[in-house]
């Protein structure tokens, strides 16, 4: 009887570590996708020299890479500070101009949601990057 209890305990322990491992891998993959989305947005802003020129290319790029975080859309998103505007595809752009040029702060998000809304284990992690476009 003692061996049967030990075997069942080991199976439960292995399942717990398997769930932790799968959650870790899922978060790492989502982080990589959000980081790649941020870098792609920054590259497009640099290539077209402003967000206004690059907006349609950014939306096309994000649609093709299947990056989507719906909870950040709208101007009253929790990460839309200092006049940043959040868009429906899950990124925010903050633009400010100084003497050296236009500065854009790009924020993408990781939406972590364990076991749906039942467990209440959901949170959002912002990933920020900055690009400076000098005046001509």
- What range does the domain containing 70 cover? 2-134
Question: What is the Cα–Cα distance from 128 to 109, expressed in whole angstroms?
Answer: 9
Domain count, the chain: 1
Angle at 60 (CA atoms; ends 50, 35), nearest 5 degrees: 75
Name the token pair of 79: 């990460």
pLDDT digits 0-9 by tens, 7-60 = 788 899 999 999 899 888 988 998 999 999 999 999 999 999 999 999 999 999
Residue 103's pLDDT is 92
Averaged pLDDT for residues 120-126: 77
pLDDT digits 0-9 by tens, 93-108 = 998 888 888 999 999 9
Residue 32's pLDDT is 93
Q: Are 125 and 90 in contact (CB under 8 A)?
A: no
pLDDT digits 0-9 by tens, 59-117 = 999 989 888 776 555 544 666 566 778 888 889 899 888 888 899 999 998 887 776 66
Give the mean pLDDT of the chain: 83
Angle at 32 (CA atoms; ends 27, 38), nearest 5 degrees: 125
């Amino acid at each position: 009887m003692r061996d049967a209890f030990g075997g069942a305990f080991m199976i439960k322990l292995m399942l717990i570590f398997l769930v932790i491992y799968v959650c870790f891998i899922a978060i790492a993959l989502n982080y990589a996708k959000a980081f790649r989305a941020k870098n792609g947005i920054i590259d497009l802003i640099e290539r077209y020299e402003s967000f206004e020129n690059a907006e349609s290319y950014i939306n096309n790029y994000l649609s093709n890479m299947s990056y989507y975080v719906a909870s950040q859309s709208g101007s009253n998103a929790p990460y839309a500070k200092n006049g940043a505007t959040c868009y429906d595809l899950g990124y925010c752009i903050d633009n400010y101009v100084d003497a050296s040029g236009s500065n854009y702060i790009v924020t993408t998000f990781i939406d972590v949601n364990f076991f749906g809304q039942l467990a209440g284990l959901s949170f959002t992690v912002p990933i920020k990057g900055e690009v400076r476009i000098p005046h001509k």
